[in-house]
Structure 1
């Protein structure tokens, strides 16, 4: 019934390391493994598809052996753009509902996952968001103007869609305006429904994020989920 596409096809340029960020260790285990475990704990019967950089397929296999990682998942070689990676994965997706999740977001809450699945059955396209805390300014050339932060939300993943809708959206050609799956689906006229995400669901893209993730992981067992 449910397919999760976990995107880990990037090479992590912003992290500045020698290996992709999804393979960096978080509490002595690759970040990507934490993410897969989190999704698997929510639905042990879900189809799991992981997109990986083509040059690191063998490395991932070796990591799974080293860490005795036995959660069943399918591997898809990532494309030139994230759009291409998702499109490749969709060819293997069999679920009635398809969720797309960043491989470097290991802390989505079970409550958010439950709400996403409930809402997608009514709205066909649902994404988690959290409020903006900082002040915002719109910059245009040499000038800028304050804008009300209440008009904006920070987008997270997983984003979940009716399978037919998502596959139809990915039949179109790639455009630079596609920043996530919601923007791809929205471009064919579908409406995107928002649900509240959880602040711990950080995307680990730099060393500061990794430090924050270490603290979150340490305290995760003490909070309600």
Structure 2
């Protein structure tokens, strides 16, 4: 089966407090999104990438990859008003009978090992959703008033809770059919779309370093992780 990656980077990144969308912020001298693309290029020789961007940023995205040795492997696609619609746009360009990895563009520390683990599991089980254990204590909150102190809460058992990551990887026969349904408010990721279509998803071991760049502190952490990896390789 052909292997395709849909890298979704169509968000505005308002929590970063920057005029520049977070996927284009510099990280160790290179835009965040380029770190993400190059991880997939390294992991799977010849992989085809669908890069989904805000329509207003497609030209800028094209300028970033121009001249790169992998330029011919990347197709830029206009994103939509929601993650669901952006992923649907990417899936519309993916050939049938393929394996497709759908990844957050700002999870730029993704490793080839995790990418290949997800592709292998999707080949075997139809889907692969990377998850990690929860290490913090958890509480479920019901707000009964207008102030946080009005909340009623209870502890949750974290043993059976997992944090969900990407790349969420599927056989196209499964995920393209799932995305033919109408968007629903509960669709927070591709796994929730597949489950709403009556499909079970297969979990695989994620990576604690596969963080999502959301706030300024995440860039500091990402730079430190990249420095550590460079030191280990030398």
Question: Which residue number corresponds to residue 198 of structure 2?
Answer: 189
TM-score, normalising length from structure 2?
0.91
For residues 24 and 152 of structure 1, the distance between their equivalents in structure 2, rounded to whole angstroms, comes to 32
Aligned pair count reads: 222
4+ residue runs over 4 A deviation: none
- Asked if 1:162 corresponds to 2:161, the answer is no
Whether the 8 Å CA contact 2:101–2:119 is kept in 1: the answer is no
Which consecutive unaligned segments of at least 5 residues does structure 2 have? 144-150
Whether the 8 Å CA contact 2:213–2:219 is kept in 1: the answer is yes
Which residues of 2 match residues 1-225 of structure 1 at below 5 A?
A: 1-65=2-66, 68-71=67-70, 72-94=73-95, 96-141=98-143, 142-223=151-232
For residues 29 and 14 of structure 1, the distance between their equivalents in structure 2, rounded to whole angstroms, comes to 21
Using the TM superposition, give the Cα deviation of residue 16 of structure 1 relative to its aligned residue in structure 2, in angstroms: 1.3
Which consecutive unaligned segments of at least 5 residues does structure 1 have? none
TM-score, normalising length from structure 1?
0.94
Using the TM superposition, give the Cα deviation of residue 223 of structure 1 relative to its aligned residue in structure 2, in angstroms: 4.7
| Secondary structure of 1:35's aligned partner | helix
| Secondary structure of 1:100's aligned partner | strand
Task: Give a deviation string over 1:92-139, Cα, whole Å, max 9, x none.
Answer: 112611110011111122222222122112211111011111000011
